Amino acid sequence: MKTSDFHFDLPSELIAQTPLERRDASRLMCLDKSSGAVRHGVFRDLPDLLRAGDCMVLNDSRVLPARLFGNLDTGGAVELVLLNDRGNNEWECLARPGRKVRVGRQITFGGGELTAEVTQIVEGGNRLIRFAYDGIFLEALERLGQMPLPPYITETLADSERYQTVYSRETGSAAAPTAGLHFTPELLQRLTERGVELNCVTLHVGLGTFRPVKVERLEEHEMHAEYCEIPAATAEAVTRAKREGRRVIAVGTTSCRTIESRANEDGTLEPYAGFTNCFIYPGYKFRAIDGLVTNFHLPESTLIMLVSALAGREHVLAAYNEAVRERYRFFSFGDAMLIT
């Protein structure tokens, strides 16, 4: 298939710049993956749209204040976005302006509270950067870093917690797993009362999730690896659900990719901790995931390709065109879709 097969026209004014006052007040489009039929609702109605016994999997990764502004030893300003922790105080980072961030350059942040050295330029032009600091690195990031909002969001976020899910626990993402932003503690409680099983995986969102597809043939695109974990309890819950014929519903493409990357042919699952570069596009046969809660994604992105693999490209593009006509809000702070 071609990247251009996943294009649709999106007016810029439909890109949500700020979150709604209530997380669960977002609109919810329900898409039947078999027929392509669409219904419209509100996200707080989600428990009524699921079945008792559904096994729901959420990504509990928490966003780092991963955007740092510093100064090079040459005197120029530099911006970093931390992507992946490589261990030994070394991170893979996006760096701007890239032409000035050369191997061997020293960078200071916060007047010297945090310092760093560029150690390597890796594939794709990202930099490996080794940090030096006193104390705990995450505490230094909390003081000096900013929330790394996507470039299509130009408004200032008044409350940084609105770019975190209410169930986030494991710090490490460079962007939020945005399908989860719609949930509230009350909604999670209602899902539990409905009989929906709630389970978590962790995928630290990095470049792999949002990296643009720059090739025309999908088979030539390589996903950037991201760290993920499947706890034993989640592996057992998914395995039990598949054996009992119950549905597994992923919240977000990150949860979906985490589960699918390690699922056996029969959909059963084992615990895992490591990296995944799972790229799902039409033609892929899902092993474990039966349904998906997701946001509305960028044209020609790996995210809309994954959604199309689950529900069919024609169904998804028709639903997206209807979302445009109905003035749904798109991307991170936008509205949601339930595919079953």
Tens place of pLDDT per residue across the chain (340 aa): 899 999 999 999 999 999 999 999 999 999 999 999 999 999 999 999 999 999 999 999 999 999 999 999 988 999 999 988 888 899 999 999 988 999 999 999 998 999 999 999 997 789 999 999 888 898 999 999 998 888 888 888 889 999 999 999 999 998 999 999 999 999 999 999 999 999 999 999 986 566 678 888 888 888 888 999 999 999 999 999 999 999 999 999 999 999 999 999 999 999 999 999 999 999 999 999 999 999 999 999 999 999 999 999 999 999 999 999 999 999 999 999 999 9
pLDDT at position 73: 93
pLDDT at position 19: 96
Contacts of 12 (CB under 8 A, 6+ apart): none
CATH, residue 122: 2.40.10.240
The pair of three-digit structure tokens given for residue 175, joined into one six-digit string = 């962007």
pLDDT at position 300: 93
The pair of three-digit structure tokens given for residue 331, joined into one six-digit string = 């991307």
Query: Given the structure tokens 């009992």, which residue do they identify?
Result: 244
Query: Do 215 and 296 fall into the same domain?
Result: yes
DSSP-derived letter for residue 56 is E
- Give the DSSP letter string of 261-278: HH--TTS----EEEEE--
Whether 152 is in a domain gets the answer no
Whether 169 is in a domain gets the answer yes
pLDDT at position 222: 84
pLDDT at position 210: 61
264, amino acid identity: N
Whether 154 is in a domain gets the answer no
Query: Do 140 and 250 fall into the same domain?
Result: no
pLDDT at position 206: 81
Query: Do 49 and 86 fall into the same domain?
Result: no
Residue 334: which domain range? 3-63+160-339
pLDDT at position 124: 78
Query: Given the structure tokens 């669960």, which residue do they identify?
Result: 24
Q: What gap in Å lies between CA 45 and CA 320, rounded to an integer?
A: 21
User: For residue 239, which of 209, 220, 265, 257 has the smallest C-alpha distance?
Assistant: 265
CB 290 within 8 A of CB 56: no
Q: Which helix (H) or strand (E) holds 197?
A: strand 197-203
Single out the residue in 110, 144, 178 at which a domain terminates: 144
pTM: 0.90
pLDDT at position 218: 83
Q: What's the alpha-carbon Rg for the chain, to the nearest Å?
A: 20
Total domain count, the chain: 2
pLDDT at position 213: 83
Whether 150 is in a domain gets the answer no
Query: Do 88 and 173 fall into the same domain?
Result: no
pLDDT at position 209: 66
Query: Do 164 and 270 fall into the same domain?
Result: yes
Query: Do 139 and 169 fall into the same domain?
Result: no
Q: What gap in Å lies between CA 191 and CA 48, rounded to an integer?
A: 9
Query: Do 71 and 172 fall into the same domain?
Result: no
Query: Do 120 and 135 fall into the same domain?
Result: yes
